[in-house]
Amino acid sequence: MPTRRQLLSAAGLLLGGSAMTGCSSASPAATAARAPVRRVVRGADLSFTLQMEAIGARYRDGGAVAPVERLLAARGANLVRLRAWVAPPAGYSTLESALTLGRRAHDEGCDILLDLHYSDFWADQYSQSVPAAWADQDLGRLVDTVRSYTRDAVAAFARQGTPLSMIQIGNEITTGMLWPAGKVYDRGHEHWDDFVRLLKAGLDGALDGATARLETMIHIDRGGDTGGARYFYDAITARGVTFDLIGLSYYPFWHGSLDTLAANLGDLARRYGKDVLVVETSYPWTLQQADGTEYYAARLDELPDVARFPVSPEGQAAYFEGLRAVVDAVPDGRGRGFVVWEPEWLPGVGWDVGEGNPYANLTMFDWTGAGLPSLAAFRA
């Protein structure tokens, strides 16, 4: 089976060059729901929290044990990102678990970003499997399902008194979503129109379900790839996709140096006139093995800025200071902030049932649950 690193490299061949631009209109109600709320984001994806707590993980930051969202909020975090799968393996991220964690985040004063994968399990640039329960639907029915599913998810957060501040329509959808119906690259050709129908259905559903101002995000994996990011966003805006935020994954061991990120963020902000958010990022604090699983960040030569940011707790903290500076320097104040991916995902819970944790050296807590110096990155 190819490694994630090999698949990312292969996926890099799919995008490049330039395309088109365009826009579309929205109803007054939709426009009001989409009105931007320009709060600078210092966030974390905490989707594994319930699974970690179920195996006894406890977190502390120089004092008593406390829920991880409380510790991060005390450091200045103001947003929690939560993923939802349609029908994942038992115990993994469902809408119900996201609602539970959303209540907890809201109680700590944090905004909520919902990351809908539109899949039963991991969806990203090289895997966007349609949920099994939707597999027999043709494109028209799938469009209706995506809209109603998204509407109901947004409405569920509103009903419990924790309305969403942001929503992602898909996760790392660089190559489409809900394959095969929404697969962009297939048999040597590009198929944007069906993908865009599904994307618009999700955006419409989000605004259908919103009872408060809600920002919509389109998220891809091209943190260090200016050409690839342009190609994607040109293609969807040319087809009338209207959204608020550009969301990027940026992992330096896959996506290049902070300089490449800075160039991409600046280009996107100027080209589309939108805020840009680094919605996934992390950096290693150790190369020591936890459970024998191969790490995604496993070697020094995979880290383009390792001279600036050595693999150590202090080096990890320095990386986040560098990231803050890059985001703050985006032209016209369009750098919206960053979201650390799963800083609480300690060894003991696998990415799948019976598997290990390839991110265990990218946490912001050591393996006893003690906070690392990088937690300072969440300050205002």
Positions marked catalytic: 172, 280
- The CA distance from 214 to 116, in Å, is 15
> How crowded is the C-beta side of 217, counted as CA atoms within 13 Å?
29
- Tell me the two tokens of residue 307: 């001279």
Closest CA to 114 of 77, 68, 163, 166: 166
Tokens linked to 282: 């992390």
Q: Report the DSSP beta bridge partners of residue 218.
A: 246
* DSSP secondary structure string for all residues of 71-91: HHHHHT--EEEEEE-SS-STT
Cα(230)–Cα(226) distance, rounded to whole angstroms?
6
Each as own residue / partner, the long-range contacts of residues 183-186 (CB below 8 Å, 24 or more positions apart, any chain) are 183/128, 185/14
Structure tokens at 199: 């994307």
User: HSE on the CB side for 247, CA within 13 Å?
Assistant: 27
Beta strands 185-186; 59-60: pairing state: unpaired
**Helix, strand, or coil here: 52?**
helix
